[in-house]
Amino acid sequence: MTITHAPAPTNTARITAIDLAVSTVRDLNQALHATDDGTSWVVDTPAGQHNIAVGIDRDLDLVVNGHVGYYFAGMHQKGRVTVHGSAGVGLAENIMSGTVHVTGDASQAAAATGQGGLVVVDGNTGARCGISMKGVDIVVGGDIGHASAFMAQAGRLVVCGDAGEGLGDSIYEARIYVKGTVASLGADCIEKPLRPEHLAELAELLALAGRTDDPAEFRRYGSARTLYHFAAVNAAAY
Amino acid sequence: MTNSYASRGLRESATFDRATINDIQRAATTGIYDIRGWGAKRALPHFDDLLFLGASVSRYPLEGYREKCGTDVTLGGRHALKPITLDIPITIAGMSFGALSANAKEALGRGATEAGTSTTTGDGGMTPEERGQSRHLVYQYLPSRYGMNPDDLRKADAIEIVLGQGAKPGGGGMLLGQKITERVAGMRTLPVGIDQRSACRHPDWTGPDDLAIKIAELREITDWHTPIYVKVGASRPYYDTALAVKSGADVVVLDGMQGGTAATQQVFIENVGIPILAAIGPAVAALQELGVHRTVQLIVSGGIRNGADVAKAIALGADAVSIGTAALIALGDNDPRYQAEYEALGSSAGFYDDFQDGKDPAGISTQDPELAARLDPIAGGKRIANYLRVLTLEAQTIARACGKSHLHHLEPEDLVALTVEAAAMAGVPLAGTSWIPGR
Ligand SMILES: Cc1cc2nc3c(=O)[nH]c(=O)nc-3n(C[C@H](O)[C@H](O)[C@H](O)COP(=O)(O)O)c2cc1C
C-alpha cells in the first residue's frame, strides 16, 4: 500500500494572522473557504471555540496556537493543519485527505468516520478514537480511550501507548496497531500476525507522524469477520 | 373465505390469528427474527379517523377550478441564507441508494422535479443520477456517514440530520448482503456481499447540546447557505421537537410509526414508536410554545396516501408532508402485473414487503441489474409526478371546501374525529360534540 499524504509545509510566502479574540470563527472559516491554494495562516487565541477551520478545501498551511473545541478541522479536505494545544470532541471528523496534527491531547471521537488523510495526536485521545473510520490514517502518540475503532471500516489506527476497553468492536477492514497494552478487545476483533508488509506500512505511518517508535514492538489487530453475516448464534455479539 | 370457515363452524383466534401462528412457526423453524420492509401493518388510529367540516352557513367555500388555493411552502428560512421554496407541500422522503435501485432513485428525482418538490438521499450517500435529476435535493446526514463528504454536502439544497425513523425510533439500519453489490459497497466503504449494520447513534455527538454544535459545524462548512432539517421518529415528539429547535434546526421532520423502512425487524416496526396522528399535536404545541410555529417548519410522514391525509396533516399544524411507501407504490411496487413473480417469492401483489431481499419484481428495492432495468426512470418519474399532482389537487379540493385560499390556512378547527381515541390523540372534538378527551 502506498501512502499519499501531502508533504510537509513549504510555502511561507503569504502568512495571514487571525486573532480569534477579535475575529469570529465564522469570519475565519469563510476566509479559509475563499482563499487560494498555497496560502499560510496563523490563528491565535482560539480559546476552545468550536468548529474552527471546518470544511477547508484549499491546499493551505494553518497553525493554531492554543486549545480548540469540538469538530476542529471537521471534514478537512486539503492542506496541513497543526494545533499547538489540545482538541475537543470530534477532531477532524470525517476528514477526507490532508493532514491534521494536534500536539496535545484530543477528546472523544477523534477522526470519527474519517474517509482519508492523516490525523496525528501527539498526546492521548478520549473514547471512540477512529469510530466508524472509513479510510483515514490515525497515529496517536499516547493512549486511546474505550470503544475506539468501533465499527471501523477501513484505514489504519496506530497507537503508541495503551488502548482502552472494547478496542475494535464490530470492526470491518480497518487495521489497528498498538504498542502498549489493550484493556480488552471488542466483539469480532482479534490479534493478527504482524507480517513484513505490516511492518513496512507501520514504519511509513510512524515516520509521517514524525515518530521514532520501533514498528517491531507493535501488535496488529483486525476483524475475525465472524459477524459479517447475521446468525442467530451470534445474538450476544449483536 | 372467512365466511366459509365460519359456516363450517371453524373459529379463528383473535389473539393467535393465522399470521401470528405463522410467525411462531417461522421463528421455531429458523431461529432468527423476521426482518422485512414496509411499515407497521397493524391497524392504528390514523387520518381516516378524522373528517373535515366543509363550509356552509357559518363559513363560505371557495369555487373549485376558479378561486386560487395556494400550495407553495418555503423551508429553512429560520437561519439558512438559501431557504428552499417548493411548489407543493409534499416531499419525497429519504430512501437509500442500496435499499433502492439507481433507476428508482432517479425516477423519484425526476418526478419530484416535475412536480416542483424535493427528494431526499438516504443511508448510502448521494448518487450522480439522483443529484442530476433533482432540482431540490435534501442530503441525509446519518449515523453511518456512508459516503459522507463535504463536496456532496455543498451540492445539497438542504441537509437532513437523521436521528431516527418512525419505523424504528432508536434503531440503526441494515442492508443485507444480497443488496451489497460492488457499487453499493464502494459507496459505503464495505466489503461486497456482507450483511451491513448501520449505527443507531451518531459517532461524534450525543444529546442536544452536542447537536447544537454539530448543526453549527454543518452551517460553517456550507457557509450558512443550506437549510438544516432534523428528522426524528415519533416517540416523544413534544420534547424532541423542542430540543431540535433549541439546537438550531431550521426544519423538524417527524416520522410516525407507519413510516416505511427498507429492512427492520418486524417486532420493532410493529411495537416501537407512536402513530403520526398522535405525534403532530405535541410537536406543534412545542413549536407554538417556543414561538416558532411556521418559522421552524414541520414536515410529517408515516402513512400518507392521499390528498385528504395531506390536508389533515397540514390542518393539524404541519407545513408539509413526506412520502416513502406511497411513492414506491406509485413507481410500480406491488403492481398486480407481477403477480406470478410475487407468488414465486411466496408473497402476493398487495402484500409484498421483502424489500430487504433485493428480489423485487418491480425493479425498485433491488440491486440486481436485470430486475432494476425493468423500471424506466423516465416513465417512473412521470408516474411520481402524476401521483404528486393528484395528492395536491385532492388537498386543494378539501381546502377550498373549507374556504381556504392556501393549504396552510387549514386549521384544527376544520377537523372532527370519528373515534374517541383519534379525538384525544389529534386534539380535535369527537364529531357532533365539542368534546376533546383530556382537555
Ligand atoms: C425502502 C425505504 C428506504 C428508506 N430508507 C431511509 C433512509 O435511508 N433514511 C431515512 O431517514 N429514512 C428512510 N426511510 C424512511 C422514509 O424516509 C420515510 O420516513 C418513510 O418512508 C415515510 O413513511 P411512509 O413510507 O409511510 O410514507 C426509508 C423508507 C423506505 C420505504
Name all residues whose Cβ lies below 6 A of ligand 1: B 37, 39, 93-96, 99-100, 122-123, 140, 162, 165-166, 231, 255, 258-262, 301-304, 322-326, 355, 365
**Which pLDDT belongs to residue A1?**
40
Q: Pick the residue whose CA is nearest to atom 12 on ligand 1.
A: B94
pLDDT of A5: 53
pLDDT along chain A (238 residues), means of 10: 49 82 98 97 98 98 98 98 98 98 98 98 98 98 98 98 98 98 97 97 98 98 92 68
Q: What is the pLDDT of residue B179?
A: 87
Candidates A82, A76, A80; CA nearest to A43 is A82
Q: pLDDT at position B196, please?
A: 86
The model scores a pTM over 0.80: yes
Say how far residue B409 (Cα) sits from the centre of its chain.
Answer: 23
Nearest CA to ligand 1 atom 10: B94
Residue B234 clears pLDDT 50, i.e. is over it: yes
Place of cell 496534527: A101
Give the C-alpha distances (Å, rounded to integers) separating B324 from A220, B37, B286, B410, B430.
Answer: 44, 12, 26, 24, 30
**SS3 of chain B: helix, strand, coil, percent, to 5:** 40, 15, 45
In this prediction, residue B118 carries a pLDDT of 98
CA distance A123 to B85: 48
- Residue of B95, B229, B276, B334 to mutate, ligand 1, most atoms within 8 A of C-beta: B95
The reported pLDDT for the residue numbered B382 is 98
Grid coordinates in use for B416?
372532527
Beta strands of B3-114 (E only): which ranges?
A: 35-38, 50-52, 73-75, 84-86, 90-92
| SS3 state at A206 | helix
Residues of chain B contacting residue A135, judged by C-beta atoms under 8 Å apart: 189
> Rounded to whole angstroms, how far apart are CA atoms B267 and A45?
53
Lowest mean pLDDT among B39-43, B121-125, B338-342, B414-418: B121-125
Q: Could you tell me which of B78, B133, B89 has the C-alpha nearest to residue B301?
A: B89
Domains of chain A: residue spans and CATH:
15-226 (2.160.20.60)
For residue B400, give the nearest of B53, B57, B63 by alpha carbon. Answer: B63
Least CB–CB distance from B220: residue in A26, A115, A134: A26
**What average pLDDT score do residues B407-432 get?**
98
> How many Å is the maximal CA-CA distance in chain B?
72
User: Residue B233 to residues A187, B49, B272: CA-CA distances in angstroms?
Assistant: 29, 22, 10
Provide the pairing of β-strand A40-44 with A61-65.
parallel
Q: What is the DSSP letter of B35?
A: E
Confidence (pLDDT) at B387: 98
Query: Could you tell me the CA-to-CA distances from B199 to B145, B146, B166, B252, B269 in Å, in that order?
Result: 9, 11, 16, 21, 17
Integer Cα distance of B249 and B214 in angstroms: 11
Q: Which residue out of B189, B211, B215, B356 would a mutagenesis test of the A interface target, given it has the greatest number of A Cβ atoms within 10 Å? A: B189
Confidence of residue B356 (pLDDT cuts 50, 70, 90): very high
| Cβ–Cβ gap A70/B217 under 8 Å | yes
User: Which residue numbers of B have CB closer than 8 Å to A's CBs?
Assistant: 30-32, 144-145, 148-151, 153, 176-177, 188-191, 194-195, 197, 199, 203-205, 210, 213-214, 216-217, 220-224
Q: Which residue ranges form the domains of chain B, and what is each CATH number?
A: 42-332+375-407 (3.20.20.70)
- Average pLDDT of the residues in B81-102: 97
B155 CA → ligand 1 middle, Å: 22
Q: Could you tell me the pLDDT band of residue B177, with boundaries at 50, 70 and 90? A: confident
When the pLDDT of each residue in chain B is averaged and rounded to a whole number, the result is 96
pLDDT value for B178: 86
Tens digit of pLDDT for each residue in B247-285? 999 999 999 999 999 999 999 999 999 999 999 999 999
CA distances from B269 to A205, B125, B198, B255 (A): 46, 24, 17, 12
- Angstrom CA distances, B400 to A190, B93, B313, stand at 66, 27, 16
Contact (CB, 8 A) for B411 and B427: no
Could you tell me the distance, in angstroms and rounded to a whole number, from the CA of residue A113 to the centre of ligand 1? 23
Interchain CB contact of A19 with B (< 8 Å): no
Residues of B in contact with A108 (CB under 8 A): 204
Structural contact between residues A183 and A164, judged by C-beta atoms closer than 8 angstroms: yes
Residue nearest to atom 29 of ligand 1 (CA): B261
Q: What is the least distance, in Å, from the CA of A196 to any CA of chain B?
A: 24
Question: From CA B428, how far away is CA B439, in angstroms rounded?
Answer: 10
The C-alpha cell 417461522 sits at B26
Interchain contact A120–B (C-beta under 8 A): no
